[in-house]
Amino acid sequence: MFDCFGAGQQLTQVTFGGRSWREDPALAAAQFAVLPVMRQLHEILWYLAEALTLPAAVPLHDEVRTAQARTDDLTAGTAEELSAFDVGAYRREVGELLGRVSDLVRGPGGPDRRGADLMGRDLRRAGLAGASLRGTYLIAADLRGVDLGTADLLGADLRAADVRGADLSRCLFLTQPQLEAAQGDGATRIPAALTRPAHWAGS
């Protein structure tokens, strides 16, 4: 399932004033160029909104609100401005702030497995509670029954990861597309802001 975090609606209703390439094919190239940028900005807004719900991150909430306001302003840009915007650099800038949020919430001592290749690994006894798993490859990893605590899952690849019975309820920066890509069941605990995927066993 593709989740654009509301970017598609913003793009059509605001950036292009209610016009869509479906009705006006001449808009297709411009809209397809802007959508990836808008989607990333809306994904950033999702992470920033989550950061504001975390009590341990209160010392950074003013910075988070500033970033939130700036990102909101960016989403209101013209198609030309959005197409030219270096969203990759901006993601890295906001990512540094979110990293500090993550450090405050997770505290010291959590394992750092950022960007690690854990594809297909049996991780049931790996001690990943509160780990930094940013950008980690967890494709087809076995996480059955694992309590990940406050693990940071920003950008982690959960395709076909087996999270049946796992506790993801306190994980940081977990998104709906990541859940949809994983394989869970009715016993998998998820954050309240997310929806249990319909294809999960026992859902």
How confident is the model at residue 98, as a pLDDT?
A: 98
Residue 39, CA atoms < 13 Å, CB-side half-sphere: 11
How confident is the model at residue 27, as a pLDDT?
A: 64
Query: What does the pLDDT look like over 96-112, one tens digit per residue?
Result: 999 999 999 999 878 99
Structural domains of the chain ordered from first start = 7-106 (no CATH), 109-203 (2.160.20.80)
Low-confidence ranges of the chain (pLDDT < 70): 1-8, 10-29, 203
Which parts of the chain fold into alpha helices (H)?
7-10, 28-51, 61-75, 79-84, 87-106, 176-181
Record the pTM: 0.86
How confident is the model at residue 1, as a pLDDT?
A: 39
How confident is the model at residue 33, as a pLDDT?
A: 76
How confident is the model at residue 79, as a pLDDT?
A: 84
Closest listed residue to residue 51, CA positions, set 4, 3, 97: 97
Collapsing DSSP to helix, strand or coil, 200 comes out as coil
Give the span between the Cα atoms of 20 and 33, in whole angstroms: 13
- Please name the residues in contact with 142: beta carbons below 8 A apart, sequence gap of 6 or more: 121, 122, 123, 124, 162
